[in-house]
Structure 1
Amino acid sequence: MNDTPPAASPSTGAPVWLDWIGALLRPWVRIRRMPEDVRALLPDDPRPTVYVIERPGLSDTLILERACQEAGLPSPYAAADRLPIKRRRAVVAMSRRPRLFGRRPHPTRSETLSLLADVVRADPEKDVRLVPVSIFVGRAPARESGWFSVLFSENWVVVGRFRRLLALLLNGRDTVVQFAAPVSLREAVAVEADTERGVRKLQRILRVHFRRIRAAVIGPDLSHRRTLIDGVVNAAPVQQAIDAHAAREGIDRDKAAAKAREFAWEIAADQSHLVVRSASFLLTALWEKIYRGVNMHHFDKLREVVPGHEVIFVPCHRSTTDDALLPYLLYHNGLAVPHIAAGVNLNLPLIGPILRRGGAFFLRRSFSDPFYSTVFREYMSQLIARGISLMYFIEGGRSRTGRTLTPRGGLLSMTLRSFLRQPHRPVVFQPVYIGYEKVMEGESYIGELSGKPKEKESWGGLIRSLGALRRNYGSVTVNFGEPLFLKPLLDEVAPDWQQATADPEAKPTWLKGAVDTLGERILVNINRAAHVGPVNLLALTLLATPKHAMAEADLLAQIELSKALLAEVPYSERVTLTGLSPQEIIAYGENMQWIRRVAHPLGDVLTVDEKQGVMLSYFGNNVTHLYATAAWIGCCFNNNRRLARASILRLGRLVYPFVQAELFLPWSEAEFAERVQATLEFFQARGLLATVEGTDGRILERGPGQSNAAFRLRVLAHTLMPAIERYYIGLALLVKNGPHALSAGELENLSYLTAQRLSLLHEMNAPEFFDKALFRGFIQKLRERRVISADANGKLVFEAELEAVAKDARVILSREIRHGILKLTPEAQAQIGKVEDGEDGKAA
């Protein structure tokens, strides 16, 4: 990026008057090239070069001339000297200038392209390199831009000279010039027998290219909201729903149609480029005030995917700022703001209309009304058909524990069904990981996990939250994960999916399985793009000790080990890791007031206060999955000095499906076994494990219980140990009560109560330890793997082998924890039938 470009040399072959005008405009224009290294995209080439631009005009020619000089490319006037035909400049525009009076002109055939096509077809040795160049004036937001300049920012209208001049004067310092890969004129026209037909086809392809780039950069050409709503209401599925609702409710059809229109008005966004650009000014100031920096990775890979695709952004949901942060970053880096799904609870007076103009569309929490559901689904279909990118969260709400939540399939299902109606436009899901170092809602999350009801959104709550803007929340990292293309996924899970496109209202039997697979892979790819920052490493390390305190030397060594583990046994190529040294990480944690230093003559101790410890666990949970394999090995050696490799792998195969489902791990059981082996080798190289002599490497051992090696493994084990303990609680309750005694709901409630009480007795501060959703997922996984099943009365039954699995816990869990769980199970048994969902807090 050239914020302060070097002075350009005089234009070779350009008229003197053009240089003068360019010199006058130079202070008003600052060019940002995409890609930054244009020469890598357009190396030296013996073929003559012709630049293809979207719109004609002197200003675009001047901008192109300067961008080429700054990038080291031949200028349009210098390139004209090498053309086989006589032209003053090597530039072709795909549209015509609007007339002062009369209708907008239609695009016509380019005489220059036709003459060049005749030349290259006549001489097999000749060719011309066409370089498409998109130019946007006033696209990128900047702090120095004025509010009035928003009115003259880039849009879809081909404007006249005076308006373009105003746009340059007001927004010229935010000019974006995007070069595309060159096109061979010979190859483009050779596919057609007739030269003129080949030129017309080439121009159509180029216009489509420019429309895709413009849609990706400033968003699709949005018609009036009323037009979109008319399309929704008049669609065949909604018309059928109107008839059905009128018949069901016994009302006049016009009243039913009015209700459908009311639903559509309640739902629909009314995105305004003016509001979006204005909001970018405010958000720039806000992020600079509350964050130390916003870091973004892998955006270049996203940029390659966007043109020509319907993009569905699916970020993790950690904070209310997610809704504004990701769209802002997309806009700030040259992509259009997506339409964002928002809960209808955010449609507050004054705030709702602003969000709607910013691109938010509102949905109700429940889709139990089939009439409303049909209207909403049709609205989604209309957005996808128009090529409007979308953004929604599939976790159903913000994570209160910092872990990735189980996906909800509602919006995914609607997206798939909309795609089936119009499968010609490829759809891609873009997972996004958002990592914070502090969240504004931290204290409210702790309260909700303790049983307090979630506070409803209101003006009062909004005003109270403004006080949080006085604090600093560290840095934020946004990583773009591996995209998921919908067509290949459907080919994999439902090879006959194209048969469903014949019926626009089809709901094929394979749809639920496809939605479940898609949701799981999105979350897997979000986790594969995680960022490990200083706060994450401090949380993982310090919270693993009983008193959340560690000698500085031990803390430095443990942080170094955690960083080395991700570097030498990488989780994914998209995982990012802080570049700070262990010493800098500790200093950063002190500066952020997450940790406190206690001076001591024998060496300083770093500690975490109790309240901070509960909040810090949130950030440890963000990255627990990255250390799952190392933590499993640590668990195995927690209570064992020696253990056979085969035992580590055998027990790992038993527990991995449940850990995989809970943490959304990407590997198969065989791949997990390979990672275990690789991690064992890492530990051996580090001296944390060693092979026992005379066993041919079959048996491994760690150091004595008080050694540094044993301590390092115990700290790593802590990240996974709560999950193992939760699994044992569920299994112990099942085995203790026997078959035909507990339903799935009763087992979930009793497991929750047991874990909650165990946390009180053993000072377990991790709030996710007694998260009911995690017990629910564990029970569901037991059913999926047919470890348990339900009888005719809904009670759970299981085979005797389950008792052997429960006994294997002796290898992993300490005697104290096992006895504590078993001691509580008779007390929990007495609560059967007494605990309902609304009574959990009272029973606890």
Structure 2
Amino acid sequence: MNDSLPAPRTAAAAQAPVWLDALGALLRPWLRIHRTPEDARALLPDDARPTVYVIERYGLSDTLILEQACREAGLPSPYAAADRLPIKRRRAVVALSRRPRLFGRRPHPTRSETLSLLADVVRAAPDQDAPEKDVRLVPVSIFVGRAPARESGWFSVLFSENWVVVGRFRRLLALALNGRDTHVQFAAPVSLREVIADQADAERGVRKLQRILRAHFRRIRATVIGPDLSHRRTLIDGVINAAPVQNAISASASKEGNGRDAAVSKARAFAWEIAADQSPLVVRSASFLLTGLWDKIYNGVRMHHFDKLRAIAPGHEIIYVPCHRSTIDDLLLPYLLYRNGLTAPHIAAGVNLNLPVMGSLLRRGGAFFLRRSFNDPLYSTVFREYMSQLFARGVSLEYFIEGGRSRTGRTLSPRGGLLSMTLRSFLRESHRPVVFQPVYIGYEKIIEGDSYIGELSGKPKEKESWLGLFRSLRALRQNFGSVAVNFGEPLFLASLLDEVEPGWRETIHDPEVKPSWLKGAVDTLAERILVNINRAADVNPINLLAVALLATPKHAMAEADLIAQLELCKALLTELPYSDRITLTPLAPAEIIAYGEKMQWINRVAHPLGDVLSVDDKQGVLLSYFRNNVVHLFATAAWVACCFLNNRRLARASILRLGRLVYPFVQAELFLPWSEDEFAEHIQRTLDFFITQGLLEADADGRIIERGPGQSDPAFRLRALARTLLPAIERYYIGLALLVKNGPGTLSSGELENLCYLTAQRLSLLHELNAPEFFDKSLFRGFIHKLRERRVVWADANGKLDFDPELQTVAYDARVILSREIRHGILKLTPEKQAELGQVAMEPSTVESGRRVR
């Protein structure tokens, strides 16, 4: 044993053999190493401890790659580091597993002779506190060709990295084809002395160390290339043989009387219909193809905050929960994850996409299919068990909690079915921490634009088909601008459960029994996911143009006014940031206008007194979609502006009081992140901002706020901001007016929702209100739900809504915000309960065909 002080790191007393240098020189032109972290040298403190690199699998190619990666990172070479070891070794490298030998005895699969010798030396060292008496182990993960580049050939995907220990010839082909996409990931060093210190003998400490290292390499490999999935048939057999499914089979056989064999066949058919069959080859091939597709239809795909996701991914079960704005979402997010070093998730897809051929391809890409209805108890049990099996295998998942695509651009109310299944799976298999990753996806133009216009006009949604797919291919000739993918603040499931139910671990006795607190946990989780999606929004030039231009009656502005309004919007988002994950276009207002013209969203009308920018009717409908993407970001400013629509002067206290009154309903509709007190603070800051900008004025003590004359530029800019929130306030007034007019104990929740819907339909015809979602039933349903939740109204013994007479005072407060014309129009249109109105609703196509949607 060499007890002398190791040589300094820079003095390489040992060099790699000449033949190894020659092989390295031959391999070097075929290698391009992507190193993680880039500054790997910072992982190793400059002390006297000798360093040993630990790799997952032994191979000459891995040694050459490690040698080059260390050289590029400024780390000691494995051969130079060997000279500092307390035992005699040619290179300071340990492999946890070895390839089978061509001849001779196969090496022991779980024991490393080098680690055992090092452990004996470290344990026997008399001075345990001396750094040179310890050994620093640095785990290094090496992947050759995990994601072939676009310029590589199709053949290269066959030889990309996987879970199988390949032979020498296959590894050589992989290096030749994919060597320029080699990933080397250095991990933080591990102290050998610390690991074996609490063990009875050195050999037991070595076994513990090897278990830790194997778990580390499995975790990194699963993060980078995905989990090691068994054959689909094996997974389905596991689902069918699970106790909950067997119990459901027995119940189904007893209920339907067709015999147990028929029930088993039915359950197996459900499982085959649901299950994905992810193929690494198909995933890599899809990555290859999609790169060309994105380059063709988009100017660029921008990601923000991905580094924060990458930092938490190892060791966590990741559930990706993006917003759902376009069919492209299903392909875009998995593609970006895969191309940037994370495994492609399994994706929940509607069974309507399970078309011939296409369904098989989607399955091979990782899609699993679910029906819209879970009415069949056997189907529900099979699906839930399939989710649990994926969960137990460490598969990352992706699903949309809004249920379907948003046709209006707004964040839709959540559906908690898949979230509930995920939580119940976690309660069964809580070995790995689970994190939900909200993702915001923002477009500048959507492929489904024309179909969305049709659906907003009352046409039924077209069923997915190959014919529809071929028709949509024509849209690929257009310019769709750029796409932004923002990763929001993650939600750690265990922490959320600790908050909702601190004793949740003690309440789990039978994993198949649904805990009483589960629904509350699912509701809280769903709301926070949507809040965090909104807190990661990207504001692109089209969003800003939509917010500004759709606020005018004719969707037109003089260029100078439009520039001023765009400057105001950007200043609001910059000086009063909604969250630290919001991203904003760097373009100046004039550049935004030029970009909108280039994208053919707006038209320029030349005029001697100044050009006018306008939007035609069809584009106005589509632009409302992009306004709704970001309307939540302007909610506070729009509320303050609403207060001055019909008032020149208001007390600051009145603005705050009314803001607190309306906030719970705005919060529920737009998924805002603040409490009522925090919203009041934002109102205060917004008032101060408007005063600084010259849009409002305050008296000497700041208690009375005043705006300028109605025809002034500041008043015009405030009116434009107010119109982003005004339709919501009008909807609330419709609901309150109907309640007050019909009296307590008259309307049920369903009857009130239907009357609100009919009243809003008629009001939109008479006043050409410019929000396509103005009479969306789901928004009225959410408003009524919030009224009941806050005990503003409640159901009596007959199921009718009762309320306190003070509700009339609340409705009276609307005079501060709404004009007399709108209030009187709503009051005139609000009917008393009639049987025919409570049961029959005007067809949406009738309404939309008679008005211009803006």
Q: TM-score, normalised by structure 2?
A: 0.95
Deviations 1:170-219 (Å, cap 9, x if unpaired)? Answer: 11111111111222222222232422222221111111000000001111
Corresponding residue SS for 2:139: strand
Q: Which residue of 2 aligns with 1:247?
A: 254
Query: 2:29 aligned to 27, 37, 51, which one?
Result: 27
Query: 2:528 aligned to 521, 524, 528, which one?
Result: 521
Corresponding residue SS for 1:501: coil
Residue pairs, 1:678-689, within 5 angstroms: 678-689=685-696
Q: Which residue of 2 aligns with 1:4?
A: none
Corresponding residue SS for 2:57: coil
CA contact (8 A) 2:489 2:532 kept: yes
- Give 2:840's aligned amino acid: E
1:350 aligns with 2:350: no
Q: Which residue of 1 aligns with 2:169?
A: 162
CA contact (8 A) 2:761 2:847 kept: no
CA–CA distance in structure 1, aligned partners of residues 156 and 521 of structure 2: 46
1:374 aligns with 2:376: no
Deviations 1:91-120 (Å, cap 9, x if unpaired)? Answer: 111112234489986533222223333344
- Give 1:796's aligned amino acid: L
CA–CA distance in structure 1, aligned partners of residues 338 and 805 of structure 2: 58
- Give 1:81's aligned amino acid: D
Q: Which residue of 1 aligns with 2:723?
A: 718
Deviations 1:139-190 (Å, cap 9, x if unpaired)? Answer: 0231112111111110001112111101101111111111112222222222
CA contact (8 A) 1:39 1:71 kept: yes
Deviations 1:271-295 (Å, cap 9, x if unpaired)? Answer: 0001111111111111110111000
Q: Which residue of 1 aligns with 2:557?
A: 550
1:755 aligns with 2:760: yes
Q: Which residue of 1 aligns with 2:840?
A: 836
CA contact (8 A) 2:14 2:82 kept: no
Query: 1:691 aligned to 684, 698, 701, which one?
Result: 698
Residue pairs, 1:340-739, within 5 angstroms: 340-693=347-700, 696-739=701-744
CA–CA distance in structure 2, aligned partners of residues 350 and 584 of structure 1: 45
Q: Which residue of 1 aligns with 2:60?
A: 58
CA–CA distance in structure 2, aligned partners of residues 722 and 229 of structure 1: 50
CA contact (8 A) 1:835 1:843 kept: no
TM superposition shift of 1:29: 1.4
CA–CA distance in structure 2, aligned partners of residues 13 and 495 of structure 1: 58
Q: Which residue of 1 aligns with 2:178?
A: 171
- Give 1:515's aligned amino acid: V
CA–CA distance in structure 2, aligned partners of residues 570 and 103 of structure 1: 66
Residue pairs, 1:773-788, within 5 angstroms: 773-788=778-793
Q: Which residue of 2 aligns with 1:191?
A: 198
CA–CA distance in structure 2, aligned partners of residues 680 and 839 of structure 1: 43
Query: 2:777 aligned to 769, 772, 776, which one?
Result: 772
Deviations 1:492-522 (Å, cap 9, x if unpaired)? Answer: 1122322443212111221111111111111
Residue pairs, 1:19-418, within 5 angstroms: 19-42=21-44, 44-100=46-102, 107-121=109-123, 122=125, 123-124=127-128, 125=130, 126=132, 127-418=134-425
| Distance of aligned partners of 1:816 and 1:253 in 2 relative to their CA distance in 1, 3 Å threshold | same
CA–CA distance in structure 2, aligned partners of residues 720 and 11 of structure 1: 73
Q: Which residue of 2 aligns with 1:823?
A: 828
Q: RMSD of the alignment, in Å? A: 1.9
TM superposition shift of 1:672: 0.9
Q: Which residue of 1 aligns with 2:9?
A: none
CA–CA distance in structure 1, aligned partners of residues 561 and 58 of structure 2: 66
Q: Which residue of 1 aligns with 2:794?
A: 789
CA–CA distance in structure 2, aligned partners of residues 661 and 626 of structure 1: 14
- Give 2:327's aligned amino acid: T
Which deviates more, 59-68 or 323-332?
59-68
- Give 1:159's aligned amino acid: V
Corresponding residue SS for 2:303: strand
- Give 1:76's aligned amino acid: P
- Give 2:203's aligned amino acid: E
CA–CA distance in structure 1, aligned partners of residues 146 and 273 of structure 2: 30
Corresponding residue SS for 1:497: coil
Q: Which residue of 2 aligns with 1:5?
A: none
CA–CA distance in structure 1, aligned partners of residues 536 and 405 of structure 2: 18
Corresponding residue SS for 1:764: coil
TM superposition shift of 1:820: 1.7
| Distance of aligned partners of 1:808 and 1:657 in 2 relative to their CA distance in 1, 3 Å threshold | same
Which deviates more, 358-367 or 706-715?
706-715
Aligned length: 832
CA–CA distance in structure 2, aligned partners of residues 146 and 560 of structure 1: 48
- Give 1:151's aligned amino acid: L
Q: Which residue of 1 aligns with 2:7?
A: none
CA contact (8 A) 2:755 2:837 kept: no
TM superposition shift of 1:82: 2.7
CA–CA distance in structure 2, aligned partners of residues 461 and 202 of structure 1: 57
| Distance of aligned partners of 1:496 and 1:614 in 2 relative to their CA distance in 1, 3 Å threshold | same
- Give 1:808's aligned amino acid: D
Which deviates more, 659-668 or 40-49?
40-49
CA contact (8 A) 2:747 2:833 kept: no
Q: TM-score, normalised by structure 1?
A: 0.96
Corresponding residue SS for 1:237: helix
TM superposition shift of 1:830: 5.3
- Give 2:738's aligned amino acid: L
CA–CA distance in structure 2, aligned partners of residues 843 and 464 of structure 1: 28
Which deviates more, 250-259 or 497-506?
497-506
| Distance of aligned partners of 1:43 and 1:436 in 2 relative to their CA distance in 1, 3 Å threshold | farther
CA contact (8 A) 2:541 2:587 kept: yes
Q: Which residue of 2 aligns with 1:3?
A: none
Which deviates more, 675-684 or 239-248?
675-684
- Give 2:79's aligned amino acid: Y
CA contact (8 A) 1:140 1:176 kept: no
TM superposition shift of 1:684: 2.0
Deviations 1:287-331 (Å, cap 9, x if unpaired)? Answer: 110111000011111112211111111110000010010000111
Q: Which runs of 5+ in 1 are unaligned?
A: 1-9
- Give 1:781's aligned amino acid: K
CA contact (8 A) 1:339 1:361 kept: yes
Corresponding residue SS for 2:212: helix
Corresponding residue SS for 1:765: coil
CA–CA distance in structure 2, aligned partners of residues 344 and 395 of structure 1: 16
CA–CA distance in structure 1, aligned partners of residues 449 and 256 of structure 2: 46
CA–CA distance in structure 2, aligned partners of residues 103 and 371 of structure 1: 52
CA–CA distance in structure 1, aligned partners of residues 662 and 41 of structure 2: 52
Corresponding residue SS for 1:51: strand
CA–CA distance in structure 1, aligned partners of residues 770 and 643 of structure 2: 23
Deviations 1:330-375 (Å, cap 9, x if unpaired)? Answer: 1101111111111111111111111111111111110000011011
| Distance of aligned partners of 1:411 and 1:107 in 2 relative to their CA distance in 1, 3 Å threshold | same
CA–CA distance in structure 2, aligned partners of residues 44 and 527 of structure 1: 45
CA contact (8 A) 1:750 1:831 kept: no
Percent pairwise identity: 81
Q: Which runs of 5+ in 2 are unaligned?
A: 1-11, 849-854
